[in-house]
Amino acid sequence: GENVEQHPSTLSVQEGDSAVIKCTYSDSASNYFPWYKQELGKRPQLIIDIRSNVGEKKDQRIAVTLNKTAKHFSLHITETQPEDSAVYFCAAQNTGNQFYFGTGTSLTVIP
């Protein structure tokens, strides 16, 4: 089955700096990669996603890149703000419509 690895597990950045979270996957047939943000005690919320036929997608301060050859994808947050502090999860969907999640990155933005 699919195996998704996520790094780092914790990340602290100064407000205004950029944050990058990286994930790798094992199943080359996986074709959809969403990113979720989970604040303490709340549900995971979709923040951005990318499909396998696209290499990069951007939405304001958030961007995701996908390298299918290397089987890795990354989340980039620019101009970080304290409200960006949360746990971020990457996921990969395989051809069986199954979602496999990374172990999460706890991001702290220091004011």
Partner 1 sequence: NAGVMQNPRHLVRRRGQEARLRCSPMKGHSHVYWYRQLPEEGLKFMVYLQKENIIDESGMPKERFSAEFPKEGPSILRIQQVVRGDSAAYFCASSPSSGAFDTQYFGPGTRLTVL
Q: Which residues are at the interface with partner 1 (CB under 8 A)?
A: 1, 31-32, 34, 36, 42-46, 49, 51, 89, 93, 95-104, 106
CA neighbours closer than 13 Å in the CB half-sphere of residue 4: 25
Could you tell me the smallest distance in angstroms from the CB atom of residue 35 to partner 1?
11
Quick one: 11 or 78, whose CB is closer to partner 1?
11
Could you tell me the smallest distance in angstroms from the CB atom of residue 60 to partner 1?
18
What whole-number distance in Å separates Cα of residue 31 and Cα of residue 45? Answer: 20
What whole-number distance in Å separates Cα of residue 23 and Cα of residue 6? Answer: 4
